[in-house]
Amino acid sequence: MNVKNLLTQRIEGAYMMDRTSHRYRKCPNDGHEFMTNNLSRIYCSDHCADEFHNQKKKMEAEQLQKKKAEQTLEIKEIKQLDTAIVTSPLVGNIHLIGATLGNKQFLKVYKNYLTDKGLDFGVYDHKFRLPGTELNVLTYGPYAIAWGYEDYIILTYKKNIPWIQ
Ligand SMILES: [Zn+2]
């Protein structure tokens, strides 16, 4: 028996301890063994009954809190995945080419113009080379960049370059 057990105001039955008796109880809260007068009694004291119920409520509240936290984490992960897709280098390239091209079908710019703006030439969908020529094409989503031996590149839509279709 610990100190807490000694300090607890218990309801003691007027029966001799007998573990085989229907009056025998073992308190679910602190494990105190006792004999009871009242057959509906479960706990050794009102204090234990309160503590047990409060503990149960506390655990339920904690579990609810934990569940909510897990759900929040899940939502956060989904959002992070969205962000990762939006900010992937290919998507970044597509946005940059689209913004630079504007409403034009073709745009001629110096070779380093787009790299200065942050284009990563290494991240593209497909690479083409027109056989027997110096003409190269890289595609980025609906767009294409074509260049030959000159110092400039052509920005356009894939659909405007027949031989890569
Ligand atoms: Zn108890």
pLDDT of amino acid 3 = 53
pLDDT of amino acid 165 = 84
The answer to whether the CB of 151 falls within 8 A of the CB of 111 is yes
The answer to whether the CB of 19 falls within 8 A of the CB of 34 is no
The answer to whether the CB of 35 falls within 8 A of the CB of 19 is no
The angle formed by the CA atoms of residues 103, 106 and 111, to the nearest 5 degrees, is 115
What is this structure's pTM?
Answer: 0.48
> What's the Cα-to-Cα distance from 29 to each of 4, 26, 42, 58, rounded to whole Å?
12, 9, 10, 14
d(CA 126, CA 75): 34
Q: Phi and psi at residue 38, in whole multiples of 5°?
A: -90, 110
- What's the pLDDT tens digit per position in 90-118? 888 898 999 999 999 999 998 888 888 88
Chain centroid, CA 103 distance in Å = 38
pLDDT of amino acid 1 = 44
**126 CA from centroid of ligand 1 (Å):** 74
**25 CA from centroid of ligand 1 (Å):** 10
Domain ranges in the chain? 3-84, 89-164
**58 CA from centroid of ligand 1 (Å):** 18
> What's the Cα-to-Cα distance from 133 to each of 27, 67, 126, 137, 160, rounded to whole Å?
91, 62, 18, 12, 18
**64 CA from centroid of ligand 1 (Å):** 27
**38 CA from centroid of ligand 1 (Å):** 15
- What's the pLDDT tens digit per position in 11-66? 665 788 899 999 999 999 999 999 998 999 999 999 999 999 999 999 999 999 99
**42 CA from centroid of ligand 1 (Å):** 9
pLDDT of amino acid 26 = 95
Listed in order, strand segments (DSSP E) in 10-53 are 24-26, 33-35
pLDDT of amino acid 27 = 95
**62 CA from centroid of ligand 1 (Å):** 23
- What's the pLDDT tens digit per position in 141-153? 999 999 887 888 9
Residue 79 has pLDDT above 80, yes or no: no
d(CA 126, CA 63): 51
